[in-house]
Structure 1
Amino acid sequence: MKRIDIIKYKQDKLKQEYKTLVEQAYNFRQTDSALSDISEYKAIKLLNKLNRLKYLYRDQNRTAI
């Protein structure tokens, strides 16, 4: 598997996990604000990882061309 494919796969997996955490944070907002905050914090950490992977993916695309 190429490095670009690995980065894209990891990026897709993290996007799905990010969406799940954001949805959890939204659903917990009314019932348990602490749990909502924890889910939101984890989502923000994942978003940071996604942004770094996006940079790597962009960089790998430039070198592949």
Structure 2
Amino acid sequence: MNRIDIIKNHQNKLTEQYKTLIEQAYNLSQTDSALSDISEYRAIKLLNKLNRLKYLSREVKQQTSA
């Protein structure tokens, strides 16, 4: 497995976790706003990681095509 595949697999895993946290935050927003905020915060942190991975995978693709 090369680097791009590893990065893509990790991105997919994080994307699923992000979707779960966003859904959880939405569902909790009606009953417990504090827990909703915590879920949203965790989702934002995951989104940050996803953005860094996108940048990383773009860099790796540019290096392999050069």
- Shorter-chain TM-score: what band? over 0.9
Alignment partner, residue 40 of structure 1: 40
| Structure 2 CA distance for aligned equivalents of residues 56 and 9 of structure 1 | 13
Alignment partner, residue 50 of structure 1: 50
1:29 aligns with 2:21: no
**TM-score computed with the length of structure 2 as normaliser:** 0.96
Gaps of 5+ in 2: none
C-alpha deviation, 1:4, in angstroms? 0.7
C-alpha deviation, 1:63, in angstroms? 1.0
Alignment partner, residue 20 of structure 2: 20
C-alpha deviation, 1:44, in angstroms? 0.4
Q: Summarize deviations over 1:5-63 as a string: whole Å, max 9, x none.
A: 10010001000100000000000000000110000000000000000000001001111
**TM-score computed with the length of structure 1 as normaliser:** 0.97
Aligned length: 65
1:15 alignment partner, SS class:
helix
Gaps of 5+ in 1: none
Q: Alignment RMSD, CA only?
A: 0.5
Q: Determine what percentage of the aligned residue pairs are the same residue.
A: 71
